């Protein structure tokens, strides 16, 4: 069974890509031309830490969801190509999704994300 991403029990993505290596984390969605509305890229940090998300070499805006160790939302951001940048502390997971996802599913700080780590 493929992993899915849920928010407070509601499925919001059924195409999930996990990123764990430093090189893959650095590349993220760079150089892609687009992503589908049901796609999520989940960055898993080795330990809770400060993270920086930049939009260099990106061609489209994205929504970024920052999670703590309990997979609760600590922060949300919409970032635009080339100019976007966001930094957060005490983050274990970063999720990148198609721009508009935050509004579409009414995501909010404190909400619970669910996914199986593979």
40-89 tens-digit pLDDT: 999 999 999 999 999 999 999 999 999 999 999 999 999 999 999 999 99
Query: What is the pLDDT, as a whole number, of residue 98?
Result: 98
Identify the CATH homologous superfamily for domain 5-108.
Protein of unknown function DUF192 (2.60.120.1140)
- What is the predicted pLDDT for the residue at 1? 52
pTM equals 0.94
Report pLDDT digits (tens) over 1-11.
568 999 999 99
Q: How high is the pLDDT of residue 89?
A: 97
**The dihedral sign for the CA sequence 48, 7, 1, 35:** negative
> Which of 37, 100, 19, 29 minimizes the C-alpha distance to 58?
29
Q: What is the model's pLDDT at position 118?
A: 66
């Amino acid at each position: 069974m493929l992993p899915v991403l849920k928010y407070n029990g509601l499925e919001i993505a059924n195409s999930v890509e996990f990123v764990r290596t430093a090189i893959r984390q650095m590349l993220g969605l760079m150089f892609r031309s687009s992503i589908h509305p049901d796609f999520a890229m989940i960055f898993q940090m080795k330990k809770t830490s400060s993270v920086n998300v930049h939009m260099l070499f990106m061609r489209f805006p994205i929504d970024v969801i920052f999670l703590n160790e309990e997979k609760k939302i600590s922060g949300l951001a919409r970032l635009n190509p080339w100019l976007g940048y966001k930094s957060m502390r005490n983050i274990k997971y970063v999720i990148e999704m198609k721009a508009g996802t935050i509004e579409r599913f009414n995501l909010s700080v404190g909400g619970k994300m669910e996914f199986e780590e593979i």
